[in-house]
Chain A
Amino acid sequence: LAKTTQPISMDSYEGQEVNITCSHNNIATNDYITWYQQFPSQGPRFIIQGYKTKVTNEVASLFIPADRKSSTLSLPRVSLSDTAVYYCLVAYSGTYKYIFGTGTRLKVLA
């Protein structure tokens, strides 16, 4: 299974757009990418999922390029409350083995 890596940390200012990339080498066409947000002393919370091109919901967008070697979580107009650790997850189809990325600590500054 591919190793999944993310930048260790990122800083941003309130109101800016933040893009966090997850590198996962080659994954199969039906393998899903899912992103989670985690606050201290809490379990991760689902943000968004997808397996191709672009997906958007009320809080984020997910971009998966055609080569599927990476995916990008986009958070529009972040606020202080978005300060958290963000994890990508590759769900390898049919394996029920969930490999999380290394996590990115996002700090939003006023």
Chain B
Amino acid sequence: KAGVTQTPRYLIKTRGQQVTLSCSPISGHRSVSWYQQTPGQGLQFLFEYFSETQRNKGNFPGRFSGRQFSNSRSEMNVSTLELGDSALYLCASSWGAGQPDTGELFFGEGSRLTVL
């Protein structure tokens, strides 16, 4: 079956702009989580969604937001971009319910954002 799909794969923005990234999970997966990856900070958890509800979030400013649609697809938005937002943004999907949360996540290839 198809894996996790993230779009766009690459994008360049300038400071002050906003960006929206999209994630389509594996069919049947209802949980989507988002991560920011930078050389200095590693993989940092942004937020997790299940059935259109945010169940948890990491320590990021309010400029970072997300949502999930009824078909489990998810988007994240970053407003008022800063240079430090340049990173690889990864999303991951999992079943999300009905079994222990083992942390077995299926990742997409990521969206590489460059802020100039």
Chain A positions near chain B (C-beta within 8 angstroms): 30, 32-34, 36, 41-46, 49, 51, 87, 89-91, 93-103
Contacts and interface: CB of A to CB of B under 8 A. Distances in A.
A104 to B, nearest CB: 11
A103 B55 contact: no
A97 B103 contact: no
A98 to B, nearest CB: 5
Judged by DSSP, the binding face of B is: strand
A91 B110 contact: no
B104 A96 contact: no
A97 B45 contact: yes
Contacts of B102: 32, 34, 49, 51, 91
| Best-buried of A43, A93, A98, A101 by chain B (most CB within 10 Å) | A43
A98 B103 contact: yes
10 contacts: A34-B103, A43-B4, A43-B109, A49-B103, A89-B105, A95-B56, A97-B48, A97-B57, A97-B58, A100-B45
Contacts, number: 77
Interface residues of B, number: 29
Interface in B1-60: 4, 31, 33, 35, 42-45, 48, 50, 55-58
Contacts of A49: 102-104
Given A96-B31, A96-B56, A98-B45, A32 B103 contact: yes
